[in-house]
Structure 1
Amino acid sequence: MSVHVQREAAAIRETWLGKALSTRPAGRPAAEAAISGLYRLIGLPPPRFHWVSSPAKGLATVPPGTRAWESIDRLTEWPVPRRLSTLAATLRHELDARLRPRGRPFDQIVRRTTYFPLQRSVTSTLVPPLNAAHESPVHRRTWYDTLSVAWIAEYDALRRAAGAVFTGEQRRLLALWTAATTSCGWWWPREDTCVVSERPVALHTEVWGENGEVRPHREDGPAVRYADGWDLHAWHGMPVPAWVITDPSVRRIADEPNVEVRRCAIEHMGWPAYVDQAGLRLVATAPDPGNPGCELRLYDMRAGTRVLLAVNGSQERDGHRRRYGLTVPAFDDPIAAAGWTYGLSAEHYSLLQRRT
């Protein structure tokens, strides 16, 4: 029975993931009706709607009549997002209260299968464009978490897969939040005006987690793109400058201060190509005792550091083993360098049967 519930919850999760990552044009009438309904629930009349083509435009848009304290850098102080977040939190508390007395055995299974994977996918895929558009880091745990489909999907799965029973009014409120979060992109509710973003027109992802979590990734162009041309490049979930994807080079890598961006650029070039083009001097090679049949290669890099090339002990989803490089101190022995990355001595690393 628990396996059946988990499978059904996983299928529901995939449906909600499709809604969260949709690239179809926004359903403007449905979005405006749902958001207006939420405004009414906190005692406000429906707002004027100002539609924009991307989050970047949404954050830069200052509707006529905007009050000084409704500037985007003070989003956490806006009263309407706070009141709407409280509305959602109250609904969640009431739904949890209906579940708690029965001690339902499948609730935690459903939550692990739906809420957490969806929240990780939204955080990995839809939040990076917000971070790129915001001048300051996004406060994900306030307003933007309220707009995540993860919490709504959780209760949908609890109802459909685990048999939870909610009242008609609770289902009506969930339907309002569902329409408000799945009919459009991000939105920013001021007292009189609500700025609403269209969805992206292109979104490229890869599966990276055990429960179907996805993250943005594209090897030959922007991973996320909006109709107005605003975009975001990403390499295996890491937002990167466009050159990392379009034109990685040894010179640009050398000039890049961010170590993670450098790593992504080198991976995109391929470590063998980078080693060759950068003219790195080979210090030593050795069979990898932690990965039989593979070789460790130690190169002299720069400024008293070296790079160790190794092969991943586990396969990627496509069946291949990824070659990767690790910056290490100025070792002369590849085995000592490999051991250092695990906090082991060369002697202890050489005794490993197989690493992962």
Structure 2
Amino acid sequence: MEIRREWLDIGTTTKPVDHGTTEEAIASVYARHRRRRPEFVWVTSPRAALGHLDGLPAHEDLRTRLNDPPLASDIAAGLSRLRSALEADYTEPPADRPVPKRKKGETWPAMPPEQALEIGLPFREVLLRGVRDEVFRRLSAVYLPIRAALGPVPVGWYGNQDAYWIAYADVLRRTGLAPVRETREFEVWAALTRSGGWWWPGERRCVLVERPVTLRTDPLFVEYGDGWAVS
């Protein structure tokens, strides 16, 4: 699973953020949702971002402000549409063995991708579990403890640590199993994932975080340039 490894490496990298590419990608996201290019505020760690997040919407705001949705709500809805579009034309490759039977409502059993292929599970199921879900599991084990250490924060995105859905879509694209119809939009998000870190979008201001200088996963230890650390 070379593509999975590639995106896992991106998701856990401590290479410095590419400020220019990140800002241009986010400006493209703003423009797609009919907002002007924001003021970019860079901080050294998620904790350092807290003082700049006043007024940005929380998750409950996305549910209550239906008549006047904040930018974060528009971005979340746009991402949902993009992910659906990326899978819309998926073509299951021909199977070389019968697909196992399962009862209605049953889920496929959890198992390593190699074993799933061996018993004939649908290839899409193998990709979902072996790429999307596995990358999500590993990266969420990094960003969820960091978020928990911050306490309640507005709606934001995790940059390179959001690589799980990009990895899955990239596999579909490279294998030709699903043509990327929304090529431009996907490439913007892929570039943002490759180049950036955490970010919180506001209507006129976007707060962005530098990547950590140290990141170990077993056991977890994450340290940022200002010395703030989570373990």
**Structure 2 length-normalised TM:** 0.77
Secondary structure of the residue that 1:49 maps to in structure 2? strand
Residue 25, structure 1, aligned to residue 20, structure 2:
no
Structure 1's unaligned 5+ residue stretches are: 1-9, 207-216, 234-356
Q: Alpha carbons of 1:201 and 1:120: their partners in 2 closer, same or farther (altered >3 Å)?
A: same
Structure 1 residue 12 displacement after superposition: 0.7
Find 1:148's aligned residue among 162, 165, 187: 162
Distance 1:189 1:75 in 2: 13
Secondary structure of the residue that 2:88 maps to in structure 1? helix
Distance 2:193 2:51 in 1: 21
Structure 1 residue 54 displacement after superposition: 0.5
Q: Alpha carbons of 1:22 and 1:176: their partners in 2 closer, same or farther (altered >3 Å)?
A: same
Find 2:198's aligned residue among 164, 179, 186: 186
Structure 1 residue 145 displacement after superposition: 7.5
Structure 1 residue 166 displacement after superposition: 2.1
Residue 93, structure 1, aligned to residue 84, structure 2:
yes
Structure 1 residue 187 displacement after superposition: 0.3
The residue aligned with 2:213 is 201
Equivalent residue runs for 1:307-346 within 5 Å: none
Structure 1 residue 129 displacement after superposition: 1.0
Distance 2:41 2:156 in 1: 19
Structure 1 residue 227 displacement after superposition: 0.2
Distance 1:61 1:88 in 2: 25
Structure 1 residue 229 displacement after superposition: 0.5
8 Å CA contact 1:82–1:143 kept in 2: the answer is no
Equivalent residue runs for 1:161-180 within 5 Å: 161=175, 163-167=177-181, 170-180=182-192
The residue aligned with 2:133 is 116
Aligned length: 195
Secondary structure of the residue that 1:191 maps to in structure 2? coil
Secondary structure of the residue that 2:40 maps to in structure 1? strand
Secondary structure of the residue that 2:134 maps to in structure 1? helix
Secondary structure of the residue that 2:87 maps to in structure 1? helix
Find 1:83's aligned residue among 71, 74, 98: 74
8 Å CA contact 1:107–1:158 kept in 2: the answer is no
Structure 2's unaligned 5+ residue stretches are: 63-69, 94-121
Equivalent residue runs for 1:100-111 within 5 Å: 102-104=91-93, 105-111=122-128
The residue aligned with 1:231 is 229
Pair member with larger Rg: 1
Secondary structure of the residue that 1:165 maps to in structure 2? coil
Backbone CA RMSD of aligned residues: 2.3
Q: Alpha carbons of 1:28 and 1:188: their partners in 2 closer, same or farther (altered >3 Å)?
A: same
Aligned-residue sequence identity (percent) comes to 31
Range moving further from structure 2, 154-163 or 26-35: 154-163
Which amino acid letter does the alignment assign opposite residue 23 of structure 1?
T
Distance 1:17 1:200 in 2: 15
The residue aligned with 1:129 is 146
Structure 1 residue 162 displacement after superposition: 5.4
8 Å CA contact 1:110–1:161 kept in 2: the answer is no
Q: Alpha carbons of 1:81 and 1:60: their partners in 2 closer, same or farther (altered >3 Å)?
A: same
- Superposed CA deviations along residues 82-140 of structure 1, whole A, max 9, x for unmatched, are 110111110111122211xx444522222221100111111101221121012x3x69x
8 Å CA contact 2:33–2:75 kept in 1: the answer is yes
Structure 1 residue 144 displacement after superposition: 4.2
Which amino acid letter does the alignment assign opposite residue 160 of structure 1?
R
8 Å CA contact 2:86–2:178 kept in 1: the answer is no
Segments of 4+ moved more than 4 angstroms = 142-147
**Structure 1 length-normalised TM:** 0.51
